[in-house]
C-alpha cells in the first residue's frame, strides 16, 4: 500500500484515545510516518458581546484554547513515546470559523487523514469543520472512524459506492492502494439511471479499470427499496460482511447537506465500519 504520510487531527484532549490508537495501528501496518495536529478551538464569535467585553472574553477564550491544545499535545506525546512508529506532533489555536487554515496546510501534504465520526452523540461542530477542511481545502482522502474504533483491521472486504460522479471516481482512484490489497471489492451501484452512459453495464467500466490493477471486483446493482440511499448502502455493507466503505463525498453543496441531509452525512451519522471518502 502507498500511504506513507498519515495525519490525524484532534480538537478534544479527552477524546483522542481510539483515534490515536487507530492511527498508530495504520502507521505501523503501512510503515508510514504519523503526524498528529492538536488544535485548541477558540469558540468565541467576535462582535457578539457588549462594548468593552470583547477583548477580555477573546483573550480568555484564547488562553483556554491554548491550554487545551497543550493538554492534547502532552497526552498524545505520552501515548506515542513508547510506540515503534515514526511520528511528530504539532499544535495550533484557531477560532471555530478558521479551522480550515491549519488543517488544510497539514492535509495537503498527507496521503490520508484519519478522523473520528463528526456526527452523532460524540460529534461536534469542530469535528465537522476539520473533516470539511481536510476534504475541500486540503484535498486529501479522509478515513472516518466509527465511535470507539481503534485498530487497522479493515480493507479486506470493501464496498465501493459507485454512481458515476466525479466524487466517486476520485474516491476510487485515491483508494487504489487499499483496493489492490483487498480480497474483495464490491462495486455497489444503487438505482442506476436507465438512460445513463453505463445503462447496459452499470459499474462495468470501473470494474475493468480496477481489474487491470489486479483488484478482485464484483458488481452489485441494487434497487432503491428504502427511502435513503445511505440506508441501502449500509444494509449491503452488513449483507456482504464488508469492513470498509469507499465513497465520494458531498455531491451536493455542504449547505444543502447540512440542512436537508444527503448520502454523505447520513452515511457518516450511522457508520458501523470505517468510511474512506474523497471529494
Question: Last residue of some domain: 111, 145, 179?
Answer: 145
Closest C-alpha among 152, 171, 188, 166 to residue 251: 166
Q: 265 near 252, Cβ under 8 Å? A: no
Domain-terminating residue out of 92, 119, 145? 145
Co-location of 186 and 99 in the same domain: no
198 shares a domain with 89: no
Q: What are phi and psi of 122, to 5 degrees?
A: -100, 5
Q: Is the dihedral of CA 61, 67, 71, 77 positive or negative?
A: positive
Q: Give the Cα separation of 238 and 147 in Å (integer).
A: 17
Same-domain check for residues 229 and 257: yes
Residue 73 lies in a domain: yes
Spatial separation of the C-alpha atoms in residues 22 and 145, rounded to whole Å: 9
From 145, 171, 199, give the residue that closes a domain.
145
Render each residue's pLDDT in the chain as its tens digit; 279 residues.
579 999 999 998 777 789 999 999 999 999 999 999 999 998 775 544 445 555 555 778 888 999 999 999 999 999 999 999 999 999 999 988 889 999 999 999 999 999 999 887 777 889 999 999 999 999 999 999 998 898 899 999 999 999 999 999 999 999 999 999 999 999 999 998 877 777 778 999 999 999 999 999 999 999 999 989 999 999 999 999 999 999 998 765 555 455 445 788 889 888 899 999 998
d(CA 198, CA 268): 27
The total domain count for the chain is 2
Q: Are 140 and 248 part of one and the same domain?
A: no
Confidence at residue 119, expressed as pLDDT on a 0 to 100 scale: 84
Q: Do residue 182 and residue 262 come from a single domain?
A: yes
Task: Give the range of the structural domain holding residue 87, as residue numbers without chain letter.
Answer: 5-145
Q: What are the strands, taking DSSP E only, across 172-274?
A: 184-190, 217-222, 244-248
In a domain, 151, yes or no: no
Same domain, 73 and 194: no
For residues 125 and 181, membership in a common domain is answered with: no
Q: Quick one: cell of 80?
A: 506515542
Tell me, what's the pLDDT at 71?
Answer: 93
CA distances to 24, 76, 105, 106, 159 from 20, in Å: 6, 8, 20, 17, 25
16 and 133 assigned to the same domain: yes
* Residue 248: CATH number of its domain: 3.40.50.620
Amino acid at each position: 500500500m502507498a500511504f506513507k504520510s498519515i495525519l490525524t487531527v484532534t480538537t478534544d484532549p479527552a477524546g483522542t484515545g481510539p483515534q490515536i490508537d487507530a492511527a498508530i495501528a495504520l502507521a505501523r501496518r503501512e510503515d508510514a510516518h504519523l503526524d498528529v495536529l492538536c488544535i485548541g478551538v477558540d469558540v468565541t464569535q467576535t462582535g457578539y458581546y457588549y462594548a468593552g467585553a470583547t477583548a477580555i472574553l477573546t483573550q480568555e477564550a484564547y488562553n483556554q484554547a491554548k491550554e487545551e491544545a497543550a493538554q492534547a499535545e502532552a497526552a498524545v506525546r505520552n501515548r506515542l513515546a513508547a510506540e515503534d512508529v515514526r511520528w511528530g506532533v504539532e499544535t495550533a489555536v484557531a477560532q471555530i470559523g478558521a479551522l480550515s487554515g491549519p488543517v488544510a496546510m497539514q492535509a495537503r501534504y498527507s496521503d490520508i487523514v484519519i478522523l473520528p465520526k463528526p456526527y452523532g452523540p460524540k460529534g461536534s461542530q469542530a469535528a465537522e469543520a476539520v473533516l470539511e477542511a481536510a476534504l475541500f481545502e486540503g484535498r486529501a482522502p479522509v478515513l472516518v472512524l466509527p465511535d470507539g474504533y481503534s485498530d487497522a483491521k479493515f480493507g479486506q472486504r470493501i464496498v465501493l459506492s459507485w454512481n458515476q460522479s466525479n466524487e466517486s471516481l476520485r474516491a476510487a482512484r485515491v483508494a487504489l492502494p487499499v483496493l489492490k490489497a483487498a480480497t474483495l471489492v464490491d462495486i455497489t451501484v444503487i438505482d442506476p439511471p436507465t438512460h445513463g452512459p453505463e445503462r447496459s453495464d452499470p459499474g462495468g467500466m470501473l470494474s475493468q479499470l480496477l481489474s487491470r490493477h489486479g483488484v478482485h471486483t464484483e458488481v452489485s446493482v441494487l434497487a432503491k427499496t428504502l427511502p435513503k440511499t445511505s440506508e441501502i448502502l449500509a444494509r449491503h455493507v452488513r449483507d456482504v460482511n464488508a469492513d470498509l466503505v469507499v465513497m465520494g463525498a458531498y455531491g451536493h453543496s455542504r449547505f444543502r447537506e447540512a440542512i436537508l441531509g444527503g448520502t454523505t452525512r447520513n452515511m457518516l451519522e450511522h457508520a458501523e465500519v470505517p468510511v474512506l471518502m474523497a471529494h
